[in-house]
Structure 1
Amino acid sequence: MAKQRLVPLDGAMNFRDLGGYQTADHRTVAWGRIYRADSLSSLSAKDLQLLADRRITVDCDLRTAFEQRAMPDKLAAGMRYIDCHVYAEEGDADQQSDVPGKILPAGYLGSIYQHIVLNVHSQHAFGKVMRELVELAPDEALVFHCSAGKDRTGMMAALILKMLGVDDQTIIKDYLLTNQLYDFAASRQLPSADQMGQMVAKMNTTKGDGPVMKGFLATIEQGWGTVDQFLIRQLDLSVQEIDRLRQKFLE
């Protein structure tokens, strides 16, 4: 299986492998285990076969119930669907968590991200994805997604990469690549191979600050000190489960 950041599909514009990123302790996020994506409602038969070939067996849907009903996911054979809607809906615990530390002020979009990471229900949704990763079989892979693979998916990706030990600047660069791909997703036009290569190259060299994602990460660090403490206190993961995640998804 090719080690490629962007996975070209007929029916999804922002389907990406989180593998290959380096960590502070010189390890590498495993390729072919964790994927992030936009909507999976328009996948072709060829796409579904590709997902099956990559052993993607778990689909964590971060979208609202309305989005899920309007554009239901298409699943490959043997794929298990998990509702992980991030935005609180009727019956959910729509309240903000108590934060032990100081929280940075943020702009409009940054304040939305901050509200989500501090929301009790959103934390529960993020925790469901993490728990699926904990239980994922060694020869299987997982995909999580929203509608455009930008905001909710970006926050989930940031939590996973941060937990695995990827530095903030790399996480921000990954987020900036999402912004570039979003233009293609909005127009429903698949970027060419050359365009994909150019975007990955730009992601690898950009010095962009990414203030929205930077604020998201700072909220966790200032609120709980470390991402581990956030995962333990708010997502209800144990120290042993966090260690298992690192053992499973780092090489």
Structure 2
Amino acid sequence: MNSNLITNFRDIGGYRANDGEIEKGFFFRSGQLNNLDDEQVSFLKDECKLKTIYDFRSQSEVDKDEDTPISGVEYQHLDILASLQDGGAASLEGMFSDLNNIDSAMYKTYEEMVISESAQNGYHKFMQDLIEVKKPVIFHCFAGKDRTGWAAYLILKVAGVSDEDIFKDYLKTNELRKAANEQIISQAKDKLNDQQLAGLESALTVKAEYLNYAIKTMNDKFGSFENYLVEGLNLAEDYKDKFIELYIEK
């Protein structure tokens, strides 16, 4: 499987969990899936056996760069950050509008991914679908790092993966987006000053502090991850048991 075909693509299966290992071939994450060529479409459809695409971007992001349709693959649009204009600092447009204060904008974005109604509704739909039908899915946003990163956190945490491995997967984005980020920065060099370029470079990466802030926000508001699943995402109390039964290889 050539994971270099699509920016920030990876299968988050294979991690050790409390009761075994997450099955490979079911949970793929990536950056946006626009302008895919025939080889990329074939990779997702024939090699990954993809059944559903979950797009976490804002409506304006989707309108600007629609996902490439793939025959036989369902498309679900879940606007996770509808509470923020155009997806906040998680979108490329939002990044450019917050370059002088990017850390503050990113913390606000991660807070909204936990507490906003749009995020809770979107992640509820996504997580509930996973236990309704067992099938290969891919989930993404613009860069595949923030909205997608929290979705990956939810899957790995429910499965019982260690915090060390969860953060390892989260930070892998910085390696896998390196070429794409360099291209975006290169195209923006003539339009931005040095401070703004530094802000853009920071905005295009992930930091452990961002994910830690989302986790702290979750714990402060709900008391625990388990309470967040039930009270924040409106999932059944036995959700974890159902998920583990479906996706954990003993």
| TM-score interval, normalised by the smaller of the two chains | 0.7 to 0.9
Deviations 1:180-238 (A, max 9, x none): 2222222459xxxxxxxxxxxxxxxxxxx812112222322343233222111111111
**Structure 1: where are the runs of 5+ without partners?**
91-106, 190-208
CA contact (8 A) 1:168 1:214 kept: no
Deviations 1:78-98 (A, max 9, x none): 1001111111269xxxxxxxx
2:120 is the counterpart of 1:126: no
Q: Match for 2:248: what amino acid?
A: L
Find the residue that maps to 1:14 and give its secondary structure.
coil
Whole-angstrom CA distance in 1 between matches of 2:241 and 2:61:
34
Deviations 1:81-133 (A, max 9, x none): 1111111269xxxxxxxxxxxxxxxx622342123211111111111111221
Give 2:74's aligned residue: 80
Whole-angstrom CA distance in 1 between matches of 2:222 and 2:165:
21
Give 1:51's aligned residue: 44
Q: Match for 1:172: what amino acid?
A: F
Q: Match for 2:3: what amino acid?
A: V
2:208 is the counterpart of 1:213: no
Whole-angstrom CA distance in 2 between matches of 1:45 and 1:33:
22
Which range moved further: 220-229 or 25-34? 220-229
Specify which structure has the higher proportion of helix.
2
Find the residue that maps to 2:13 and give its secondary structure.
coil
Give 2:163's aligned residue: 168
Q: Match for 1:21: what amino acid?
A: Y
Give 1:193's aligned residue: none
The CA deviation at 1:134 is: 1.4
CA contact (8 A) 1:15 1:38 kept: yes
Alignment of 1:35-50 (within 5 A): 35-50=28-43
Find the residue that maps to 1:160 and give its secondary structure.
helix
Q: Percent identity?
A: 30
Whole-angstrom CA distance in 2 between matches of 1:228 and 1:249:
18
Compute the TM-score of the two structures, normalised by the length of structure 1. 0.76
Alignment of 1:1-251 (within 5 A): 7-9=3-5, 12-23=6-17, 25-53=18-46, 54-88=48-82, 108=104, 109-137=106-134, 140-187=135-182, 210-251=208-249
Q: Match for 2:158: what amino acid?
A: M
Whole-angstrom CA distance in 2 between matches of 1:227 and 1:144:
21
> 1:89–1:215: structure 2 CA closer, same or farther, 3 Å change rule?
closer
Which range moved further: 220-229 or 28-37? 220-229
Whole-angstrom CA distance in 1 between matches of 2:37 and 2:243:
32
The CA deviation at 1:28 is: 1.1
Compute the TM-score of the two structures, normalised by the length of structure 2. 0.76
The CA deviation at 1:178 is: 0.8
Find the residue that maps to 1:60 and give its secondary structure.
strand
The CA deviation at 1:179 is: 2.1
The CA deviation at 1:165 is: 1.0
Whole-angstrom CA distance in 1 between matches of 2:238 and 2:230:
10
Give 1:98's aligned residue: none
